[in-house]
Amino acid sequence: MLKSISKGGNKMTLQQLIYLVTAAECGNMTEAAAKLYISQPSLSAAIRNLEEEMGVTAFSRTNKGITVTREGEELLSYARMLLEQSENMKDHFCNSKHQIPKFSVSCQHYSFAVNAFVDVIKTFDADRYNFIMRETQTGEIIDDVANGKSEIGIIFLSEHNEEILSKLIRNNNLIFEELYVAKPHIFIYKHHPLAKKDKITLDDLTQYPYLVYEQGTRNSFYFSEEFISTLDFPKIIQVRDRATLFNLVIGLNGFTVSSGIIDHRLNGPHIIAKPLIADQTMHIGIVKKKNMILSRYAHKYIEALKEHLSIV
């Protein structure tokens, strides 16, 4: 049983890290204390002791609550990583039937990523589990893995974004592992005017709306999920979710550019993929922390990803 650190102590415990992460998630010491079933003064003292030992101020404290500081974000990143490694170690060696399955992944909008996630849940189905899948922006995927919010991320690298994204990945102490190399395709409505063509050129597409996933403050081409520049097209529509994108593909005869990997169960029978004539390749892979011991759920997820990509 882990003991909470006493005032003046100088040995960090995993319990302190749990306190730190819970407080950050709640944004309020009183709420966090209630969630942890301890008194608010005890929680505050434990976190202050941790701050003193690490030499950082993790939170800015006001009457309205707490906010995480910049150095606090870095401390939280390490705390989440240590807690996750602790859970992975217990899961590996104890193999307890009472262990609640937990796994989180952040990814770009790929149907094969969803299918692999379904496989993990089916494999580790239990009375209780906590699985998280975030289909989100490219920059947030890297942030999620770096900050320990997700165990792994799924992105792609290409000739145009590799230098920028690889540097960002390295600077966050992450690594990229390639799983699949795809040629560019477009997704269009099955009754689109171009649907009968065997291959599509960029010139063929200029009169139609180009649908892309919005990337927030990092809305540069380097973070785009589509590896054909929007600068080549006069009509651009940015969206945040898969359903909206495919509804616009159908309703406006729009198109998007991706890997060509499509699942009609998720995307519907009305969307088709057509090869795009372009001298580029899409290197799909996972992002994870360097020297990270992955959970058995992450291993299963990667295995499932490879299976779904191998049948393309």
Is residue 111 over pLDDT 70? yes
In the prediction, which pLDDT does 97 show? 58
Quote the CA–CA distance of 163 and 177 in Å, as a whole number.
15
Residue type, 230: T
Tell me the sheet residues that pair with 152. Answer: 105
In a domain, 215, yes or no: yes
In the prediction, which pLDDT does 311 show? 66
- Clarify whether residues 106 and 55 are in a common domain: no
Q: Write out pLDDT tens, residues 144-156.
A: 999 888 999 999 9
Give one word for 24, left, alpha or beta, with left for phi > 0 and alpha for psi -120 to 50.
alpha
CATH label of the domain that carries residue 250: 3.40.190.10
Return the higher-pLDDT residue of 126 and 22: 22
- Clarify whether residues 58 and 106 are in a common domain: no
- CA-closest candidate to residue 179, choices 155, 160, 202, 197: 155
- Clarify whether residues 133 and 197 are in a common domain: no
Q: Is the pTM of this model over 0.85?
A: no
Quote the CA–CA distance of 195 and 242 in Å, as a whole number.
21
- Clarify whether residues 155 and 228 are in a common domain: no
- Clarify whether residues 127 and 110 are in a common domain: yes
- Clarify whether residues 268 and 298 are in a common domain: no
Domain boundary at 59, 75, 91, which?
Answer: 75
Return the higher-pLDDT residue of 105 and 222: 105
Confidence label for 98 from pLDDT (cuts 50, 70 and 90): low
- Clarify whether residues 167 and 197 are in a common domain: no
In a domain, 9, yes or no: no
Confidence label for 5 from pLDDT (cuts 50, 70 and 90): very low
In the prediction, which pLDDT does 2 show? 39
Lowest mean pLDDT among 75-84, 88-97, 109-118: 88-97
260-264 mean pLDDT: 83
In a domain, 7, yes or no: no
- Clarify whether residues 216 and 275 are in a common domain: yes
Return the higher-pLDDT residue of 226 and 265: 226
- Angle (deg, nearest 10), helices 14-26 and 40-54: 110
* % of the chain at pLDDT higher than 70: 93
- Clarify whether residues 136 and 119 are in a common domain: yes
In the prediction, which pLDDT does 6 show? 40
Task: Write 70-79 long-range contacts (CB < 8 A, 24+).
Answer: 72/24, 73/147, 75/20, 76/20, 76/21, 76/24, 76/147, 76/148, 77/146, 77/147, 77/148, 79/17, 79/20, 79/21, 79/148
Is residue 169 over pLDDT 70? yes
In a domain, 33, yes or no: yes
Domain carrying residue 233: 184-280
Q: Write out pLDDT tens, residues 179-192.
A: 999 999 999 999 99
In the prediction, which pLDDT does 94 show? 64
- Clarify whether residues 198 and 170 are in a common domain: no
In a domain, 214, yes or no: yes
In a domain, 93, yes or no: no
271-275/59-62 β-pairing:
unpaired
Structure tokens at 268: 């519907």
In the prediction, which pLDDT does 134 show? 96
In a domain, 95, yes or no: no
In the prediction, which pLDDT does 141 show? 96
With beta carbons less than 8 A apart as the criterion, state whether 215 and 108 touch: no
In the prediction, which pLDDT does 95 show? 60
Is residue 294 over pLDDT 90? no
- Clarify whether residues 274 and 158 are in a common domain: no
Q: Which residues, 6 or more positions from 114, have their beta carbon under 8 angstroms from its beta carbon?
A: 133, 263, 266
State how many domains the chain has. Answer: 3
CATH label of the domain that carries residue 57: 1.10.10.10
In the prediction, which pLDDT does 93 show? 65
Domain boundary at 39, 58, 75, which?
Answer: 75
| DSSP-H helix ranges across the chain | 14-26, 29-36, 40-54, 70-94, 111-123, 138-146, 162-171, 202-205, 242-252, 264-267, 296-310
The vertex-162 CA angle with 211 and 310, nearest 5°, equals: 75
69-98 mean pLDDT: 76
Domain boundary at 58, 75, 92, which?
Answer: 75
Return the higher-pLDDT residue of 10 and 196: 196
Average pLDDT taken over every residue of the chain: 88
In a domain, 143, yes or no: yes
- Clarify whether residues 38 and 165 are in a common domain: no
Is residue 112 over pLDDT 90? yes
